[in-house]
Structure 1
Amino acid sequence: MARPAVTLDNYDDVYRYYLDHRQNLLSARIAYAALSARFRPRVHYADGARERLQALLASGTRLIVVANHLTDRDQYTLAATAWQTPLRSVIGRTRVLAKDELFTDPRLRRAIDLMGSIPVFRSQNHGLRAVADAGRRMMDVSAQRLQRGDVLAIFPEGTCNDGDPRRIQRLNTGVGHIAVKARKLGAPPALLALGIAYGPDPSVRGSADVYVGDPVLELPTTPMDITRAVAEQLQAAVDDVRAVR
């Protein structure tokens, strides 16, 4: 299938394409390695988290990775972190939810397609009613990618935190709905929370610290309760990353 234009009125073709899209694995690994060399985040782990994450990935357990959202550089920090952690083993099988405007520029789109991104049409850009059907389709595709064995990475706050970086913003419930849909497909996901913190100038190379929390293997049963659990784990990771800086 040819790459469709990423526009809201074309969402059905968009998600049909990203249901099956696979990036070139070698090119993706080169890109992730380059981002790691460029951004050089300092990675910290909860006690035993590295080993548990490694075992979880080796077992084929489905995984949703969530991170707090501070700047437009966060996706690069996340990619660099993946290269430095056991998540390196799932490069090429990781899907990252990304706002639809990033897919407008052809050059940028090639780059984020290489990173395994799936577009999200956000209500703050298009209106809640306008994005409702597209949002449901995006969640269905995300759950199906998990069922097929992919890892899903999400910034569940949905927008950059321009307020207090010590406190996460209210989370969208999409992460909870995706987890429930994946469970119904026979692929209950585990959860991994990453806390990101920057120095005074986030643009400075090596200014990021990332804290890898302990994976959570069993999530609640409803979208709302899952979202609350995600918020608790993400806030704990943010607290921990700020404590180690």
Structure 2
Amino acid sequence: MNAGAGRGGRALVPGRRRRARPEVTLTNYEAVYDFYGPGRRRDGFTHPLLAFVGALYAPELRIRPETVDEVHRLHDAGVGIIVAANHPSAHDPFVLASAVFDERVRFLASGTGLTKDPLFRGPLRPVFEYTGTVPVFRAKNYEGTARAVHDAAAARLIDLCVDRLVSGGVVLTFVEGTNSSADDLRTLRPESVKKGVGQMVRGVREAGDRVAVLPIGIVYRGREHARLPPRRPVVAAGPLALWEGPGSAPSIDEVRYAVRDGIDDALTDAWSEVY
């Protein structure tokens, strides 16, 4: 997953002085997003890692041929694509990353991934950094911090994602923001889809560009909380949602409901024994 991939992605210029790696905390969000904004992906690290993770989890990607054709058509036309998934397990970042490394849609694996910031303060930081993932500061991890700081950090992250999408890139996000409750494993409740995906779509439309969402449903069939990597999870793609043409930008809730319906369609396919 690459924070700098896609049309218009900014690569580091040879000879430019490297920024110091910042401490990844909410109060330091400006330095964090300055650092991760240009992209930190290293393909020589990412591609072997995704191949290994794919072999470890061996997810089944269920995506219809017409959807494959459409995502390629949109990407080739410079349309930004949001891969919007549910979040039933702590294994999801690895399962989603390896699923979109499937040769049918491999360009999606070069997108900007989003994940919780604590993962950037331990030994796994290089794994997420060198795959181009960007930290997300969740309010529940920073109780007592002024609301204005939370809001400013969230706005900066949305701006970063909108920039990627306007440049024709890909953003991969888990729309629930945290692991699914037991009530959301087979169908998502509307309130479980947080506003971030709506803010991204609205931001791109306000900038006058087209944007598409590819809804994804991930299913482990009762092994969501397995400690060891569960084999053969199912990752299903729902129908693409596309916002284009003239007119006002959609409301955040309109996007949330459309994305929820698409993920529900994907979950129906993922839970089906026959595809």
Whether the TM-score (by the shorter chain) exceeds 0.5 is yes
Hey, what's the Cα distance between the residues in 2 that align with 1:101 and 1:62? 28
Is 1:197 the counterpart of 2:188? The answer is no
SS of equivalent residue, structure 2 residue 37: helix
Task: Give TM-score scaled by structure 2 length.
Answer: 0.81
Name the counterpart of 1:236. 265
Task: Give TM-score scaled by structure 1 length.
Answer: 0.91
Name the counterpart of 1:167. 187
Name the counterpart of 1:133. 152
Name the counterpart of 1:222. 251
- As a proportion of its length, which structure holds more helix? 1
Offset at residue 201 of structure 1 (A): 2.7
Residue segments in structure 2 that go unaligned for 5+ positions in a row: 1-18
Provide the aligned length of Structure 1 versus Structure 2: 243
Hey, what's the Cα distance between the residues in 2 that align with 1:151 and 1:234? 18
Q: Give the RMSD, CA atoms, in angstroms.
A: 2.0
Offset at residue 87 of structure 1 (A): 3.1
The 5 Å alignment of 1:135-154 reads 135-154=154-173
Q: Which is further off, 24-33 or 213-222? A: 213-222
Offset at residue 205 of structure 1 (A): 4.1
Hey, what's the Cα distance between the residues in 2 that align with 1:234 and 1:91? 19
The answer (yes or no) to whether the contact 1:19–1:145 under 8 Å persists in 2 is: no
Offset at residue 176 of structure 1 (A): 0.7
The 5 Å alignment of 1:39-78 reads 39-46=57-64, 48-78=66-96
Offset at residue 182 of structure 1 (A): 2.0
Name the counterpart of 2:37. 19
Work out which of the two has the higher radius of gyration on C-alpha atoms and give 1 or 2: 2
**What are the superposed Cα offsets for residues 164-197 of structure 1, whole Å, 9 maximum, x if unpaired?**
3112251111111111112233432101011110
Is 1:115 the counterpart of 2:138? The answer is no
Hey, what's the Cα distance between the residues in 1 that align with 2:164 and 2:254? 22
Give 2:150's aligned amino acid.
V
Q: Stretches of 4+ moved more than 6 A in 1?
A: none
Is 1:102 the counterpart of 2:123? The answer is no
State the identity %: 29
Hey, what's the Cα distance between the residues in 1 that align with 2:237 and 2:211? 17
Hey, what's the Cα distance between the residues in 2 that align with 1:235 and 1:85? 25
Hey, what's the Cα distance between the residues in 2 that align with 1:210 and 1:244? 13
